[in-house]
Amino acid sequence: MTEPAGTGILFLCVANSSRSQMAEGFARERAPEGVEIYSAGSAPTAVNPLAVQVMRELGIDLSAHRSKAIAEIPADRIGTVVTLCAEEVCPVFPGEVKRLHWPMPDPAAAEGSDEERADAFRAVREMIRRQVTILMRYEA
């Protein structure tokens, strides 16, 4: 059975490698029944291994995720678009949708030791977790 059009939530950033992937992971875990969850990027690359690592710490498995282009997303199924970029130019999703912007630093830009970089991912992960939790309260 097909869900009604326009109930999906799309998380967007540029590379679809870290922030939008973590948001998708949290949202899939928390979304009410019937709400489809997607993520994409305007210049998709690959899912960042540190995003996979820090989400695994919370029991959320991103290992099967892949970076996707916006064109791969079924536009007619999207009702809400959340952009997560801060320093870079955010991708644009066409159409009549509810738009939210959560400016999050790109943890992939973090420098330092492996642990310092992982800590940057954990900090952004926690910001995303809080925002997704609030969003899902409104989607329920």
**85 catalytic per annotation:** yes
What Cα–Cα distance (Å) separates residue 114 from each residue in 21, 68, 118, 120?
20, 26, 6, 10
Q: Taking the CA of residue 132 as centre, how many other CA atoms within 13 Å lie in the half-sphere pointing to its CB?
A: 26
Are 107 and 123 spatial neighbours (Cβ–Cβ below 8 Å)? Answer: yes
Residue 83 a catalytic site member: no
Neighbours of 101 (CB within 10 A): 13
- Which residue of the set 9, 10, 13, 35 is catalytic? 13
Q: Is 135 a catalytic residue?
A: no
Residue of 22, 37, 52, 85 marked active site: 85
Catalytic residue selected from 90, 97, 110, 123: 90
- Catalytic residue IDs: 13, 85, 90
